[in-house]
Chain A
Amino acid sequence: MIGRRHFLTRVIPTTFWTSFIMRSLSRNAEAKTVENESYKTLTTTEAETLGAWCAIIVSGAGQAGVARFVDENLAGDQAASLLLLRYLDASDMAGFYRNGISGIEKECQHRFGLSFARANADQRLELVEAAIASKMQVWTNPNPNFFYFISRSDAVDVVYGTQAGFADLNIPYLAHIPPPRPW
């Protein structure tokens, strides 16, 4: 059976990524400063892991506030949620993220004996590639490939899906009603 979580990725050669270097610059002029503020649903550690994970997938996602984006929307009413996850599985969105973040940590500990925060760039890349290839060793729930898909979408939202993100891609925004804030 192929369910809603089986969307998405194709396996690609690992060698393709060997020259990958993380870029830490923020291209998003609307990026939010999120340090030193408490989170509403996630713990600070969970939020930092999610932000670091997303920053591997989309450069600048951490500075753009992806962890805050997820956290604030998990804390609010589901009907007002701005998360793409609501399309695909809204049954327990907070649990989905918590379990996914826990999966990142477990897999990182299993492979490298480190927390994700202490893992180096190559180790983080290895985990992302394992999620894409559905080759996690101990992380099973939620489906790592689906978690990658959702967290990647969150990162794309805050970096490329805002008015500033469009401008950075040279796409005219052309709003009928502009968003009141990026997210």
Chain B
Amino acid sequence: MSQISHDKVEVVIIGSGIAGSTMAAELGEAAFNVLVLEAGPERKLSDMISSQIWSRRLRWAGPEVLETGDLVGAANFAMGWGTGGAGLHWYANWYRLHPDDFRVRSLFGRSLDWPIGYDDLRPWYDHAQSYFGVSGNDDSNAPSGEAYPMPATSMSKQSSAIKPGFDAEGLELTTNTLAINSAPYAGRAGCLLDGWCDAGCPIGALTNPLVLQWPRARKAGVELRHNAYVARIETDPSGSKATGVLYLDEQGRENLQPADIVISACHTIWNARLLLLSTSDKHPDGLGNGSKTLGRYFTSHALTTIHGLFSQETEPHLGVSGANTLCLDGYEDKQPAKGAFGSRAWLVGQAAKPNDLLGTALAKPELYGEALDDYLRNASRHYGNMTVLCEEDSIPENRITLDPSKRDRYGLPQAHVINSLPHANATRSKLAKEEGLRIFKAAGTTDAWAGPRNPMHMMGGTIMGDDASASVTNSFGQVHEVDNLFVAGASLFPTPGAVNPTATLAALVFRTADYIRTHRSEWLP
């Protein structure tokens, strides 16, 4: 089959999600000629149907990922497919990593250090929260930064029911910080608190790429090409320069897209996989893999949800999918007991509908028949929940690899994720679960129980570092061995902390975009 060749662009970005679309808008507005390749179909706001059933169409529908280990299973749920990627169904929880999260190796002799510290990223966090539109109040347990552009949403009935439990435990429960408008902001509506966030927010109160980045990017002349599945990054004969990408279109035809700068802005697994797939005689183990760390140091957050039934009405269907309130009190204590390690954060009062993975019915999977019906009628008025995120150490054994024995629909080796929670983190997770049950019992629940430990968020695999012999990119996401190749996304994180990654992902994108802007002449003819 003949290959289709396209005209060269200055920048080609792989992936149209939050990382890719933000990068595209930034570089487009800086007058770069930018093309974005998206593996999935075109999405419109009208695709954001308020239904847990119908919203499944927004989720990943690309090649399957093989997952093994005791903290896996979230890939297809977490990833998106089509314009905006996971940015169409994300929960908009917006947190900064804490200063100690950047120096875990130095401070505790385990996991890794980042090549940058909190102070390096702080101005980009400040910029990102203004750009995205973040609501929140001051929280003495959160890292310092500029005030949020909007006040927090008010405390829900769910949170009000749970709060006495935190009080009894001596922990401060605060309003949450969310990339959701608590009031009209930047031409977008304020949130109606109807609890449909993870089905997509067509009014744009929860910011998403269709209402924020893509209008800006398109206005700046950025081209977006759908159904373009990038199979490899091409390099010149010296192996030191990326020359473009090879992608497969909807008909399965090979397309060669030349570019001066290549930016891989896929979801975590796919950033690592794409570099692993891009082998050549100069890079037999994949691009950026001279250190043999490509794919390694994959991390997640160990999640446990505490469920409860309260005597008072909690209106669990209302609010936001992310969390109404937050507890970072105690986050700084990474060694809460002997043999336990890691920070933890409580996300409290998540809106819950009856069905889907996070719905009230699956909170009690053992119930069926009349017992299920009775429970759901009670839960629809009296249910409350909160989720703890616990830190996972970055270890080389947890990794993304290619499985040459299994081929995906494009004939490429299947991605394989291996992730098991280190023992000290599992001990920390168990402590958090016990804390959560104490909180719910102290809050006066009539019934309280904990769900199983599951993964949430995916990070690492193309980690940044100062030492080219122990990392894949520098702090700007620039691949060590290929100067005009960048990675954007949570795959860059050397450590995950215990908070949702998108604020940090966005801050890094803005920092990298600024770096590319100010070094333009190094890559463009």
How many A-B contacts at CB < 8 Å in the complex?
Answer: 165
Give the shortest distance, in Å, between B48 (CB) and chain A (any CB).
6
Could you tell me if A156 and B355 are in contact, using CB atoms closer than 8 angstroms? yes
Question: Interface digits, A1-29 against B, CB 8 Å rule (1 contact, 0 not)?
Answer: 11110011111100011001111000000
Could you tell me if B371 and A177 are in contact, using CB atoms closer than 8 angstroms? no
Is B446 in contact with chain A by the CB < 8 A criterion? no
Could you tell me if B70 and A86 are in contact, using CB atoms closer than 8 angstroms? no
Q: Which of the 9-residue segments A32-40, A98-106, A107-115, A157-165 touches chain B?
A: A157-165
Tell me which residues across on chain A come within 8 A of B370, comparing CB atoms: 20-21, 23, 59
Could you tell me if B76 and A87 are in contact, using CB atoms closer than 8 angstroms? yes
Question: Interface digits, B372-385 against A, CB 8 Å rule (1 contact, 0 not)?
Answer: 11001100110000
Tell me which residues across on chain B come within 8 A of A173, comparing CB atoms: 50
Could you tell me if B76 and A86 are in contact, using CB atoms closer than 8 angstroms? yes
Is B69 in contact with chain A by the CB < 8 A criterion? yes
Is A128 in contact with chain B by the CB < 8 A criterion? yes
Could you tell me if B357 and A79 are in contact, using CB atoms closer than 8 angstroms? no
Is B5 in contact with chain A by the CB < 8 A criterion? no
Could you tell me if B50 and A179 are in contact, using CB atoms closer than 8 angstroms? yes
Tell me which residues across on chain B come within 8 A of A88, comparing CB atoms: 73, 76-77
Docked complex Cα distance between A162 and B359 (Å): 13
Docked complex Cα distance between A157 and B202 (Å): 22
Question: Interface digits, B358-396 against A, CB 8 Å rule (1 contact, 0 not)?
Answer: 010110011011111100110011000000000000000
With contacts A86-B61, A87-B56, A90-B64 taken as known, whether A176 is within 8 angstroms of B72 at the C-beta atoms is: no
Docked complex Cα distance between A44 and B29 (Å): 58
Could you tell me if B53 and A179 are in contact, using CB atoms closer than 8 angstroms? yes
Tell me which residues across on chain A come within 8 A of B171, comparing CB atoms: none
With contacts A1-B69, A3-B67, A132-B366 taken as known, whether A161 is within 8 angstroms of B353 at the C-beta atoms is: yes
Tell me which residues across on chain A come within 8 A of B67, comparing CB atoms: 3-4
Tell me which residues across on chain B come within 8 A of A87, comparing CB atoms: 56, 59, 76-77, 357
Could you tell me if B365 and A7 are in contact, using CB atoms closer than 8 angstroms? yes
Could you tell me if A176 and B48 are in contact, using CB atoms closer than 8 angstroms? yes
Could you tell me if B373 and A59 are in contact, using CB atoms closer than 8 angstroms? yes
Give the shortest distance, in Å, between B188 (CB) and chain A (any CB).
13
Binding site for B on A (CB under 8 A): 1-4, 7-12, 16-17, 20-23, 56-59, 78-84, 86-88, 90-91, 128, 132, 149, 152-153, 156-157, 160-162, 165-166, 169-180, 182-183
- Report 10 cross-chain contacts, Cβ distance below 8 Å, ordered by A residue: A3-B68, A84-B56, A90-B76, A161-B51, A174-B194, A174-B195, A176-B192, A177-B48, A179-B51, A183-B53
Q: A16-B371, A160-B355, A174-B317 are in contact. List 18 more A-B contacts (CB 8 A).
A: A8-B365, A10-B365, A17-B371, A23-B369, A58-B368, A82-B54, A84-B356, A88-B77, A132-B366, A152-B365, A157-B355, A161-B51, A166-B353, A176-B203, A177-B46, A178-B49, A179-B51, A182-B53
Binding site for A on B (CB under 8 A): 40-41, 46, 48-54, 56-57, 59, 61, 64, 67-70, 72-73, 76-77, 81, 192, 194-196, 201-203, 317, 353-357, 359, 361-362, 365-366, 368-373, 376-377, 380-381, 452, 454
